[in-house]
A and B are shown apart, each in its own frame.
Chain A
Amino acid sequence: MPIYDISYTSLIFCFFLLIIPIFISRKIRLELEKSTLEAVFRMSIQLFFAGLFLNFIFNLNNGLLNLAWVGLMIFFASYTAIKSADLNVKKLFLPIIISIAFSNLVILLYVNKFVINLENLLDARYLIPIAGMLLGNALRGNVVGIGDFYNDIKRNENRYLYSLSIGAGRYEAVIPYLRKSLRAAIKPTLANIYSIGIVSLPGMMTGQILGGASPLIAIKYQITIMVAIYVSTLLSTTLSILTSFGTAFDDYGLVNKELYEKSS
């Protein structure tokens, strides 16, 4: 099966489609003309450079460089995770980056070794895209999990203090919040697993099929990826919350007030 390349000139036909949203935006005064063009322009530039860079990395296929690239992805994933959760980045950065890095690397290498049976565990063509998929999901889980956990304690401060007052230990007092936030963090992934294949063809499968792979191979990869995503999301979110205790709580068992201040 041939893979049809999209030429740069034919991309112009793709951009022609944007006339539709711009027309709608004009007519209904959505005032989205500028942001539409800006967003698409930014995406194109970003992806263009990502393409160049990934092409370079894939051609070189140096294990350490691939790993370093994944490290960089983890760094940015963790940074965004805390930033969008409105919690103090400085205080939580270390526990989160360690948790995400640990969980994702362990699952990633396990999958490469035992499921895909790769000879080179650090092969860029597998390592980087799979890492990206795991990270994207772990990231979302961590944002929801950590954010829910600390905001729930803050919102229900009296409830939390009451449990301490009746003799709850540090861990016993936070368990209800941990349970609730982990459930919230993992629910979308679980729902996604339920509906996959019926409601939507996932991006990776689509990509593989467009790339010429048999759907029968594509589904096996998809099953692997979904399980890996589920495990790494739950593992990294649990570890993130647990390892954040050391810096987030004081010796009295109370959440450090600075945690809720938005860092500038």
Chain B
Amino acid sequence: MSVEPLNNELINNELIKYESIGISFGNRKVLSGFNLTVKKNQKILLRGKSGVGKTTLLKMLLGFTKPSEGTLYFRNRVIDSKTCWEARKEIAYVVQDTDLGEGKVKNLLGEIFSYRANKEKLDSEKLWTFMRELELEDNILEKNFQELSGGEKQRVGILIALLLNRNIYLLDEATSALDAKLKKKVADYFLAREDWTLLIVSHDKEWERDWMRIIDLETQSW
């Protein structure tokens, strides 16, 4: 009886668990037998050349693609057509080429924060703070999203993730288009947050730390 609470806590600490995951693109098998457990507050960096399945591993968590073999758990529940909707509300996903669609940045942000899951999360004070931190100019809100530069789009993606105020982040080459100074700033900011769980895919060395777990998908070192 007395062991149970401890056990529960241990299990609850396990946020994400990849169990013998295999990935195939068409007939080509790119990854097999991948195992990884991500605990709460852990920061993990996934490495490996392109085409090895890094992005796919992240997308699986959101139910955008299914593993060709193995099982994926989020909070000890198998990711399926029901649980993926929960994961999407808890996980912030930052992609390399954020695409919000057509229209003014202001309106597109408004649309995102009109979703039932995100209502009341748009805090204008936070918005201005994060914009300043990300070195986004004030007038960006009035601009058309499609007219922004690659770096600006990427920063808007990071901005949204920060505003959503979530604790689990999937960062897929989230700083690839930023200059070195800003890369470092963003990486430092994310890595310093102890209560955040990060699953990072990046070729930027700014994200590497001695203390973090680094998984190389090419050498299959997991």
Q: Which residues of A contact B (CB under 8 A)?
A: 156, 158-159, 161-169, 172, 176, 250-254
6 closest residue pairs by CB, A with B: A251-B81, A167-B117, A165-B93, A159-B99, A252-B63, A167-B89
- Pairwise interchain contact B115-A166, C-beta atoms closer than 8 A: yes
- Pairwise interchain contact B117-A169, C-beta atoms closer than 8 A: yes
CB distance from A160 to the nearest CB of B (A): 9
**Residues on the A chain within 8 Å of B92, using CB:** 166
**Residues on the A chain within 8 Å of B99, using CB:** 156, 158-159, 162
Question: Nearest chain-B residue to A161 (Cβ)?
Answer: B64
Contact with A along B71-95 (1 / 0, CB 8 A): 0000000000110110011011101
Interface check B158, CB cutoff 8 A: no
CB distance from B102 to the nearest CB of A (A): 8
**Residues on the B chain within 8 Å of A172, using CB:** 114-116
B89-144 with Cβ < 8 A to chain A: 89, 91-93, 95, 97-101, 111-112, 114-118
- Pairwise interchain contact A166-B93, C-beta atoms closer than 8 A: yes
| Cβ-neighbour of A164 out of B81, B88, B97 (below 8 A) | B88
- Pairwise interchain contact A166-B95, C-beta atoms closer than 8 A: no
Question: Nearest chain-A residue to B82 (Cβ)?
Answer: A251
**Residues on the B chain within 8 Å of A162, using CB:** 93, 95, 98-100
A155 to B39, CA, bound (A): 36
- Pairwise interchain contact A165-B112, C-beta atoms closer than 8 A: no
A159 to B146, CA, bound (A): 12
| Cβ-neighbour of B64 out of A156, A168, A169, A252 (below 8 A) | A252
A163 to B98, CA, bound (A): 10
Interface check B31, CB cutoff 8 A: no
Most buried by B among A161, A165, A176: A165
Q: Which residues of B contact A (CB under 8 A)?
A: 59, 62-64, 81-82, 84-85, 88-89, 91-93, 95, 97-101, 111-112, 114-118, 160, 164
Question: Nearest chain-A residue to B81 (Cβ)?
Answer: A251
CB distance from A249 to the nearest CB of B (A): 11
Question: Nearest chain-B residue to A173 (Cβ)?
Answer: B115
- Pairwise interchain contact B89-A254, C-beta atoms closer than 8 A: no
- Pairwise interchain contact B111-A165, C-beta atoms closer than 8 A: no
**Residues on the A chain within 8 Å of B117, using CB:** 167-169
**Residues on the B chain within 8 Å of A169, using CB:** 85, 115-117
- Pairwise interchain contact A252-B97, C-beta atoms closer than 8 A: no
Report if A165-B115 is in contact (Cβ < 8 Å); known contacts: A250-B81, A252-B84.
no
Report if A168-B81 is in contact (Cβ < 8 Å); known contacts: A156-B101, A252-B63, A252-B64.
no
A108 to B82, CA, bound (A): 42
CB distance from B26 to the nearest CB of A (A): 13
CB distance from B99 to the nearest CB of A (A): 4
- Pairwise interchain contact B81-A165, C-beta atoms closer than 8 A: no
Question: Nearest chain-A residue to B58 (Cβ)?
Answer: A165
* A and B contact pairs by CB, cutoff 8 A, 6 listed: A161-B59, A162-B99, A165-B62, A167-B118, A168-B112, A168-B117
**Residues on the B chain within 8 Å of A252, using CB:** 63-64, 81, 84
**Residues on the A chain within 8 Å of B100, using CB:** 159, 162
- Pairwise interchain contact B93-A158, C-beta atoms closer than 8 A: no
Question: Nearest chain-A residue to B59 (Cβ)?
Answer: A161
A252 to B84, CA, bound (A): 7
Question: Nearest chain-B residue to A159 (Cβ)?
Answer: B99
A163 to B99, CA, bound (A): 9
- Pairwise interchain contact B89-A176, C-beta atoms closer than 8 A: no
- Pairwise interchain contact A166-B118, C-beta atoms closer than 8 A: yes
Most buried by B among A158, A164, A167: A167
**Residues on the A chain within 8 Å of B114, using CB:** 172
CB distance from B8 to the nearest CB of A (A): 27
A165 to B100, CA, bound (A): 12
Report if A164-B62 is in contact (Cβ < 8 Å); known contacts: A158-B95, A159-B101, A250-B81.
yes
A166 to B91, CA, bound (A): 8
CB distance from B125 to the nearest CB of A (A): 21
- Pairwise interchain contact B164-A166, C-beta atoms closer than 8 A: yes
**Residues on the A chain within 8 Å of B116, using CB:** 169, 172
